[in-house]
Structure 1
Amino acid sequence: MAKIEGIRIQNFRGLKNVTLGKLAYGSDSEPLTDMTVVIGKNGVGKSTLFDVFGFLADALKFGVEEACDLHGRGGFQKIRSQGAVEPIMFEIYYRENENAYPITYIIVINLDDSGRPVVETEYLFQHPKQQIYGRDNAFLILSNGQGTVWKGEGKEIAEDEEGFRVLNFLLEDSSLQQMFKKMAMEPGAEVVELSDNRKLGIATLGALKQHPKISAFREFIEGWYLSYFTPDAARSFPLTGALQHLNSKGDNLANVVQYMEREYRDKFQSILDRIAEKIPGIDKIDTEKTSDGRLLLRFNDKGFQDPFYAQQMSDGTLKVFAYLLLLEDPTPPPFICIEEPENGLYHKLLEALAAEFRIHATGRKGGTQLFITTHQPYFVDALEPNEVWILDKGADGFSTIRRASDDELVKNMVAEGLPLGGLWYSDYLDAR
């Protein structure tokens, strides 16, 4: 399954220049782990970092102009870092699977002459195994909706295009256009011009089977799951009808249970039984179809003969059930983002929940990658230093980030048996 090994964000709200994990060039950090957890005080940018993935998913689906306005973002000028005149930029370094060569995707978003957000630059290229000695293969190079795309395995970038190879994002338009014209002469190249430069090139070209690398990256982003789960939404009365995957708010929880019951009948009850074992006080979980076509989710509480319906269950029980059902999905999403999973949960459940998340991420070959933000030390107690990133604010008011494992004192204290969350609570993870 695909995995993000690193991401760089520039000029997105409080994230003026933030890098997590490994990049192709300019970063010697280790790749992101299967489960990455970001901690920090209130107001340091955890929600902004979470929204980076939401913004990219929205940009792919709707275009960058609409993505700037969705979910209360307030438009380009509001999400561009305060005082910045440079464009917003995202760089993602990922692999299609553990045996594939890494791929870098870069998108630069700016305002056009009429003040509308547009995709100023978009790159997609793959790196060789030995990056120092090998050459990159380009699949997509666009400037303001115009550029070159290569079919199949892409086009090897020549030595004299080193300026592109080291990711010089500030090339003048004339230099880019000269590069495009030269590379467009190569076999397999196709000159393209998008009808709307507010749309991502990977959205349009990724729909064509002759561009498998672009298509795979598009499908990867489309498969991201961002949790905006609310217990009240899970208490709704959906019409009966099987749905394969849990949606972001969780209001189709009963429909997903119905789908799993229908499609995985032989092992469905064992799935529910496993989930019930991990929720305190719950003996059995099933569904009931009403005469008017609604679907009810039922929980049998230990000690009671009659079941309780989702509308009667606590916020914490519904949240844990939703997370565990998400992890039991037979065809899980490749990338799951969860913001503050601890809200509404009993603190002694958090270490167990963190352990379940890790088992899901690492317990199967090519499991789902998890990205989580939290401010709960009990959750962090179950984590390793290389899984935890500490977000803080610099003297200029913009976010800074570092990995807990970069601090030798912290690593040694955890190795001696001290829990990481306890060290955070005791201020040992504060910048020194």
Structure 2
Amino acid sequence: MVSQITRIEARNYKSLEQVDVALGPFTVLVGPNGSGKTNLLSVLRFVRDAARFGIEDALRTRGGFDRIKRQDGKQGRVTLTLHGNVTSHASTGAPDRYQLSLGTSKGEVTRREEFTYKRMAGQGRRITLSANETAVARIAADGSDQSAQTRRLASSTTTMLGTFAQLNDDEVGRGPSDFLDFLTDIRYLDPAVREARVPSRLQRGSIDDSASNLSAALYELSRVDPDGLEALTRDLRDCLPGLEAIEFRQGGGSAETVVVSLVEAGLTRPIDLADASFGTVRLLALLTALHEPNPPALTVIEEVDHGLHPYALDVLVGRMREASKRTQLLVASHSPTLVNRLEANEIVVCDRDAESGESIIPSRSAAEIAAAVEESGYLPGELWFSGSLGGVPN
């Protein structure tokens, strides 16, 4: 079973005054510009960066605490909470829960952290790790203060998970390190087509966030999973009439690089990625991520339909559903055509209060979407585009 985040809660974060969003293996956010889709996706990116590089660095790269706090003039902490089934003994009835809360005191950023998980199988046996503003952490078993122990974190900016992941398994088990690994491995896929066109150095591993290593990632797929590359080629053929094959050759220069070319019927020579269209390169980057045999446990994709022909969206939705068996997918879309191909439980409609600027997510439940589809006879994308489900510009 794929590890996954089942709920995201966010308070006072950018446009998210208070949202609580349930996620499935494959979830698509839809709504107008400014409704909070990107802000909800960025919750995962912020928590990932804090886990990778530390809280201070995650804030600095975003312009500081004031740039992530909701600008409504009210006092209140930014609080981000993730619920999920990540650690070995997590379950629907006893999920993992990680919370990061940030505020200010005397001009300095303060933080609180809490992580609750099951160390072992069986009834109870839950451990809560917590850390306060002074970087003093606490271990309490089954919520009991009697057995609580304290530790000092490595620094005031190191995440609590990072410190506890280094402790002896006999004391806290694998939970903190497993959850930390999950967070740091989140992929926030936003292909930069200009970079993706450039031949990349041969290296092993997944496609990166910007798809700057697209050529190497495709070559790696051909090496470790030839059947996966053939399936990817079939998907691409369905979207690019005349495509026959994907070819690889070694590039020049001092470093060993790989060049990807597309062989098309009727042409005397293949087309290098450097000369391929924007939509072709972007689609190829998405399909590469979706066909990887061992992807990160969670993949986030911003504007998944950007630059793609509507006919490609049918292929893409089917591929995302299949890929969600290996990597949880949370994506954002503006395309009614794509939404028409979704089930009600795959859709999260995002809206925004025109007066307060507060994001309303979700603005409709999955049950309400399913009922509207059944009663009207229209497809979900048609209902959304018409305004019947909300989530459209006023």
**Is TM (by shorter chain) over 0.5?**
yes
Q: 267-276 or 101-110: which moved more?
A: 267-276
The residue number in structure 2 matching 1:290 is 251
- Percent identical: 24
2:386 and 2:203 map into 1 onto residues whose CA distance is: 48
The residue number in structure 2 matching 1:33 is 24
User: In the superposition, relative to structure 1, how do residues 238 and 288 fare at CA in structure 2: closer, same or farther (>3 Å)?
Assistant: same
The residue number in structure 2 matching 1:424 is 384
The residue number in structure 2 matching 1:377 is 336
1:347 and 1:238 map into 2 onto residues whose CA distance is: 29
Amino acid at match of 2:51: L
User: In the superposition, relative to structure 1, how do residues 98 and 126 fare at CA in structure 2: closer, same or farther (>3 Å)?
Assistant: closer
User: In the superposition, relative to structure 1, how do residues 243 and 7 fare at CA in structure 2: closer, same or farther (>3 Å)?
Assistant: same
1:143 and 1:257 map into 2 onto residues whose CA distance is: 45
The residue number in structure 2 matching 1:233 is 195
Residue of 149, 152, 159 corresponding to 2:139: 149
1:356 and 1:403 map into 2 onto residues whose CA distance is: 27
Secondary structure, aligned partner of 2:233: helix
After superposition, the CA RMSD in angstroms is: 2.6
Secondary structure, aligned partner of 1:248: coil
| 2:85 is the alignment partner of 1:95 | yes
User: In the superposition, relative to structure 1, how do residues 112 and 326 fare at CA in structure 2: closer, same or farther (>3 Å)?
Assistant: same
Secondary structure, aligned partner of 1:336: strand
User: In the superposition, relative to structure 1, how do residues 97 and 156 fare at CA in structure 2: closer, same or farther (>3 Å)?
Assistant: closer
Per-residue deviation, residues 209-264 of structure 1 (Å, max 9, x unmatched): 5130111100111121101211111112323x222110101110111122233334
Residue of 110, 115, 124 corresponding to 2:116: 124
Residue of 178, 186, 190 corresponding to 1:224: 186
1:86 and 1:256 map into 2 onto residues whose CA distance is: 43
Answer whether contact 1:35 1:387 (CA < 8 A) is retained: yes
Gaps of 5+ in 1: 22-31, 159-178, 185-189
TM-score (norm 2): 0.88
1:208 CA drift (Å): 3.9
1:315 and 1:291 map into 2 onto residues whose CA distance is: 24
- Corresponding pairs, count: 379
The residue number in structure 2 matching 1:250 is 211
The residue number in structure 2 matching 1:162 is none
Secondary structure, aligned partner of 1:373: strand
1:431 and 1:317 map into 2 onto residues whose CA distance is: 29
1:318 CA drift (Å): 1.0
Residue of 55, 61, 81 corresponding to 2:46: 55
The residue number in structure 2 matching 1:167 is none
TM-score (norm 1): 0.81
User: In the superposition, relative to structure 1, how do residues 396 and 277 fare at CA in structure 2: closer, same or farther (>3 Å)?
Assistant: same
Answer whether contact 1:103 1:126 (CA < 8 A) is retained: yes
User: In the superposition, relative to structure 1, how do residues 409 and 269 fare at CA in structure 2: closer, same or farther (>3 Å)?
Assistant: closer
Answer whether contact 1:225 1:336 (CA < 8 A) is retained: yes
1:129 CA drift (Å): 10
Secondary structure, aligned partner of 1:402: coil
Answer whether contact 2:49 2:184 (CA < 8 A) is retained: no
Per-residue deviation, residues 112-146 of structure 1 (Å, max 9, x unmatched): 44x2323223333349999xxx7571241222221
Secondary structure, aligned partner of 2:111: strand
